[in-house]
């Protein structure tokens, strides 16, 4: 049975500083010396080894039918078992990796009903492997048997499952559509009362796949916790797992610009959406699937890794093959990650059990550009913020301001009624308190005009701000501080805006007695696309009155990312230097000196853990000030409360 008692206390993944090394092994790698692999992981300062165990290819002598042993696993050998013994002897935890998404032809020939069926009835075959269906017997019958065998034989510290659920594209990016097997057709009909839709983007079908994957995830979790109560369960899902996996990765066809906050976003969102679970954000070494032995820019690796640490996640790095095998490949990834792992090993006591102190909450949603524009703006403003995909934090943690890129959900009304503030930045009306007569205009190439200059000190030289995109027109408001200027002529030059007209249509709407400020256009998306100073200034001038005095203030460059965390009675200020990122390149960041930082609260001492020396502090008005002498790529400043100076736990 599922052991509720085992889940009552945080597992090792929540209490230990994690230095997680994933090695995605090819089948021939099972022929190598597992003890040497563990020695390499120890030399890398990893304390968690994420290692192939089974699914597509077992690295132990499995006896389950259709569960193929790795071609590199010779007779009488137990690669996984030997690696596990060596790792535990060295104090390294082992997380076994399974991939149940595909298997061999013998299983397909014996049980074709278990497998993914394309619309034409044919199977999905990739490099000789047949894709199974999340609703079929491979997951329902074979996966539990395989897991039971593995868990009874090996005292693993955790299990991870790759490629969970039905994938609509193969590794080459080819579309295979959605599954039309008998089980999918039957279960979909039972759940939704109709036949399978023609396209996989159907809303009911997306819900169907969601339900199917979570149903299987729950069963796998029950088996794991029943047989190994102290083992962690890791997946790319939030539900039923102990840790939330994610990746910072690249792809050659991914739209530009590059997103340098990938690790920060993944970890921040996971840790604050599900604070009882650990975020394991795998920093992927390779460029794209077709080039797994070519590494991303050398300086991209430490940036991703420092961001993992700065937001309270695991330090996690993924490679393909064994570390020794990289002697014939691009070594830059390992070379760049090794010093970060070494430093983290020396300073692990400062990294375990971190929690965000941020009192600004950014809700996910609203489209990628709108959300990322606000994410980037908050980072550049050095406003400590937590990201959440839900409202479960209401009443559980102090939040001064909620920022939304999509429509402010109706569930925020309770938070607002209790004194909370909301900055809703979206052409979608808030789910509560909005005027009933709101007219949405889909594409407006106009401006917004500043009418009350005293309310927008950042816009003194910018009385007109670019507007491009949807706009939600609320009822006219004479005397509005910011108003819509509709499109007008822009050519030829002799006619530029000669027909421009002002309106009383508000471009900022105050709701709930001023507790909710609604910007009825996609200001976040505009800032993401164009980075206009005026758009950043408008966000600043709207947020500052809602926020009041910020938790943290600094004169650091906008490309210095700052996070504010608490840990074992300490306050931690993480600073990451992003100045080395330019377009598609990552270069050594430009060192910065004399960064002034002001933090809410009275602290008696501060120490820089990278530089390794104390920093003078001063206090006034319930706030503490210090100057960071130098920031290279990353620094962590540990603050101790007044009265505990010199205490370094």
Show me where the domains of the chain are located. Answer: 15-98+242-355, 101-134+162-232, 358-547, 552-641
Q: Is 557 exposed, middle or buried (0-12, 13-18, 19+ CB in 10 A)?
A: middle
Q: What is the mean pLDDT of residues 472-494?
A: 96
Tell me: the pLDDT tens digits for 370-428?
Answer: 999 999 999 999 999 999 999 999 999 999 999 999 999 999 999 999 999 999 999 99
Mean of the per-residue pLDDT values for the chain?
Answer: 95
Which residues is 563 bridged to in the sheet? 574
Answer yes or no: are the C-beta atoms of 561 and 307 closer than 8 Å.
Answer: yes
User: Do residues 181 and 137 touch, judged by C-beta distance below 8 A?
Assistant: no
Any idea which fold 358-547 has? Rossmann fold (3.40.50)
Give the whole-angstrom CA distance, residue 611 versus residue 613.
6
Query: What CA–CA distance (Å, rounded) separates 118 from 124?
Result: 7
Q: What is the pTM of this model?
A: 0.95
DSSP per-residue letters across 199-217: STT-HHHHHHHHHHHHHHH
Pairing mode, if any, of strands 278-284 and 315-320? parallel
15-98+242-355 folds as TIM Barrel (3.20.20)
Average pLDDT rounded to a whole number, residues 243-255: 95
Nearest-angstrom CA–CA distance, 168 and 177 = 5
SS3 track for 535-571:
HHHHHHHHHHHHHCCCCEEECCCCCEEEEEEEECCEE
pLDDT tens digits along 341-370: 999 999 999 999 999 999 999 999 999 999
Residue 9 has pLDDT above 70, yes or no: no
Sheet-wide strand order for 482-485 = 464-473, 439-450, 482-485
In the CATH hierarchy, which fold is given to the domain comprising 552-641? Immunoglobulin-like (2.60.40)
pLDDT tens profile 13-43: 999 999 999 999 999 999 999 999 999 999 9
Give residue-wise pLDDT tens across range 77-121.
999 999 999 999 999 999 999 999 999 999 999 999 999 999 999
For 115-169, the pLDDT digits (tens) are 999 999 999 999 999 999 999 999 999 999 999 999 999 999 999 999 888 989 9
CA dihedral 374, 380, 385, 386 (to 10 degrees): 60
């Amino acid at each position: 049975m599922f052991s509720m008692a085992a889940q009552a206390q945080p597992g090792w993944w929540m209490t230990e500083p994690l230095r997680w090394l994933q090695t995605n092994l090819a089948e021939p790698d099972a022929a190598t010396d597992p003890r040497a692999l563990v020695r390499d992981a120890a030399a890398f300062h990893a304390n968690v080894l994420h290692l192939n165990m089974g699914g597509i290819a077992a690295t132990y002598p499995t006896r389950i039918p259709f569960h193929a042993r790795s071609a590199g696993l010779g007779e009488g050998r137990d690669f996984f078992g030997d690696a596990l013994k060596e790792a535990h002897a060295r104090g390294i935890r082992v997380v076994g990796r399974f991939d149940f998404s595909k298997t061999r032809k013998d299983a397909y020939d014996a049980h074709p009903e278990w497998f993914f069926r394309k619309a034409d009835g044919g199977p999905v075959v990739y490099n000789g492997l047949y894709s199974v269906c999340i609703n079929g017997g491979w997951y329902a019958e074979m996966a539990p048997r395989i897991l039971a065998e593995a868990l009874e034989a090996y005292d693993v510290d955790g299990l991870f499952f790759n490629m969970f659920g039905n994938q609509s594209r193969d590794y080459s990016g080819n579309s295979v559509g959605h599954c039309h097997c008998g089980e999918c057709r039957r279960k979909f009909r039972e759940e939704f009362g109709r036949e399978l839709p023609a396209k996989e983007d159907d809303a009911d079908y997306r819900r169907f796949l969601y339900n199917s994957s979570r149903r299987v995830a729950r069963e796998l979790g029950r088996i794991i916790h029943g047989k190994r109560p102290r083992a962690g369960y890791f997946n790319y899902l939030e539900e039923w797992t102990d840790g939330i996996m994610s990746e910072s990765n690249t792809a050659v066809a991914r739209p530009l610009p590059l997103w340098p906050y990938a690790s920060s976003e993944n970890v921040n969102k996971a840790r604050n959406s599900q604070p009882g679970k650990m975020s394991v954000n795998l920093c992927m070494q390779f460029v794209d699937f077709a080039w797994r032995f070519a590494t991303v820019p050398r300086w991209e690796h430490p940036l991703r890794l420092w961001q993992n640490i700065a937001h309270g996640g695991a330090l996690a790095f993924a490679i393909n093959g064994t570390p020794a095998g990289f002697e014939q490949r691009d070594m830059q990834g390992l070379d760049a990650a090794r010093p970060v792992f070494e430093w983290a090993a020396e300073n692990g006591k400062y990294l375990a059990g971190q929690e965000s102190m941020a009192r600004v909450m950014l809700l996910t949603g609203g489209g990628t550009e709108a959300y990322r524009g606000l994410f980037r703006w908050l980072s550049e403003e050095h406003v400590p913020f937590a990201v959440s995909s839900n409202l479960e934090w209401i009443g559980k943690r102090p939040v001064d301001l909620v920022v939304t890129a999509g429509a402010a959900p109706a569930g925020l009304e309770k938070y607002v009624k209790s004194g909370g503030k909301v900055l809703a930045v979206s052409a979608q009306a808030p789910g509560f308190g909005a005027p009933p007569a709101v007219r949405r205009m889909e594409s407006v190439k106009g401006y917004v005009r500043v009418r009350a200059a005293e309310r927008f000190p950042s816009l003194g030289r910018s009385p007109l701000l670019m507007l491009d995109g949807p706009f939600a027109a609320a009822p006219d408001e004479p005397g509005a501080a910011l108003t819509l200027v509709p499109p007008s002529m822009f050519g030829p030059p002799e006619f530029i805006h000669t027909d421009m007209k002002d309106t009383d249509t508000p471009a900022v709407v105050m709701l709930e007695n001023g507790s909710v400020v609604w910007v009825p256009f996609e200001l976040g998306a505009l800032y993401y696309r164009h980075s206009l100073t005026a758009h950043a200034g408008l966000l600043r001038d709207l947020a500052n009155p809602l926020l009041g005095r910020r938790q943290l203030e600094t004169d650091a460059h906008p490309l210095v990312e700052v996070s504010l965390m608490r840990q074992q009675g300490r306050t931690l200020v993480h600073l990451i230097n992003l100045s080395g990122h330019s377009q598609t390149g990552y270069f050594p960041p430009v060192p910065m000196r004399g960064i002034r930082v002001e933090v809410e609260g009275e602290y008696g001492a501060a120490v820089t853990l990278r530089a390794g020396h104390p920093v003078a502090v001063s206090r006034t008005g319930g706030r503490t000030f210090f100057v960071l002498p130098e920031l290279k790529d990353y620094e962590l400043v540990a603050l101790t409360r007044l009265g505990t100076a010199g205490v370094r736990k």
